[in-house]
Amino acid sequence: MNYRVRTVWILLVCLTTASACAQLKTRLLSKDEFAASAGRLSQSLVPGIIGPLHTEAAQAFSVEGAEFKRFSLLPVSYGWQDKGATAVTNMCGIFVVYTGNAQQFLPTIGMGWLNVFNCHSLDAVGFVDAGSGVPPRILLLYSADTPHDIENEPAVLDWSSSSQNYVWNQRLSSRLVVDGQTNSIAEMKRQLRRYEGQ
């Protein structure tokens, strides 16, 4: 392979790689975008809610890709009360607002083994490109507590092609907790890559 052909080939590989990586674009919502989206959230989608729905602008994102429709991610916190109980628990969740204002709500702190926790805040959000025109994996890192201690609690959300919406990945979320490598989104990504290699 001569020098010129080799240079062009390397350039094409680099452009193809950059193009694949550039297909997923995430950014924080602007103040106006956040206010408009937060004002349209449907509180009726949140089961057992007591009192107001609180939105977190610091972790609200716009997500878009070349082969899927743009959507917004809005973290929320709210009071929740079990049937027949008097105590109110602080819960957290995520609204996914799709193009055309279709909405999906996913409880996060308050699902599975995390139903014993009080949620303080969503501290970090990360995205992992799923490729093939599929919306990205969403990584969430919460600060939450039990009566015994305060912990970082991870949640992994994956796109379901069959239901065409996001679902909670309990298996990966619980494995991250057990392995204890959940102090940052970067650590969560490293652990998830390690799981794929096993």
Per-residue confidence (pLDDT) for residue 167, from 0 to 100: 95
Mean pLDDT of the chain: 84
pLDDT tens digits, 54-70: 999 999 999 999 888 89
| pLDDT at residue 92 greater than cutoff 50 | yes
pLDDT tens digits, 38-56: 999 999 999 889 999 999 9
pLDDT tens digits, 106-165: 998 866 655 667 888 999 999 999 888 899 999 999 988 876 666 788 999 999 999 999
Q: Is 131 left (phi over 0), alpha (psi -120 to 50) or beta?
A: left
Per-residue confidence (pLDDT) for residue 177, from 0 to 100: 85
Which residues partner with 90 through β-bridges?
Answer: 79
Q: Looking at per-residue confidence, does 21 or 158 come out higher? A: 158
Gap between the Cα atoms of 193 and 28, Å rounded: 25
Gap between the Cα atoms of 194 and 67, Å rounded: 27
